[in-house]
Amino acid sequence: MSYSPRVKSQKARLSGLLRAAAAARKNAYAPYSGFPVGAAVLAGGRIFAACNLENSSYPLSMCAERNAVGKAVAAGNQRIDAVAVVAGDGPPAAPCGGCRQVLSEFCAPDAPVVYASASGRSVTTDVGSLLPDSFGPANLPARDRRRGR
């Protein structure tokens, strides 16, 4: 079976992101849920990987996806080109709703997302499919700069 060069590069890119996400998952701090997650994003031609970080005060926990986006943004990137997540041993686990919203802030709707289980089963989709009709900057009113709002 032959693929176009774009498909080959996308498959290779997503494969590299999955490897980075799987490696980051090994460092997850998940003593409460026992559900380690690793995520990697491609931004500015670089891979930024992170893991989930739980806290005994559960709402203070941080998802791997948001941590990876934060690393990319801290490095000066405001556009995420692709995303990979590795979580769980059973069926692949998609990003949670909060992470989907954060991804939609930094990704184009057609940005590829692959999520996989530790056993290697994966699903490939895009940000727009994960969060159709998302709320974003275009939904906010223009600021009135004369009034400082």
Catalytic annotation, residues: 65
How far from chain centre, in Å, is Cα 18? 11
pLDDT at 129 over 50: yes
* Predicted local confidence at residue 143, as pLDDT: 65
Edge to edge, the sheet with strand 46-51 lists 46-51, 37-43, 82-87, 112-116, 122-126
Mean pLDDT confidence for 77-82 = 97
Element (H, E) at 43: strand 37-43
Angle CA 85–88–90, to nearest 5: 120
Cα dihedral sign, 32-33-36-40: negative
Provide the whole-model pTM: 0.88
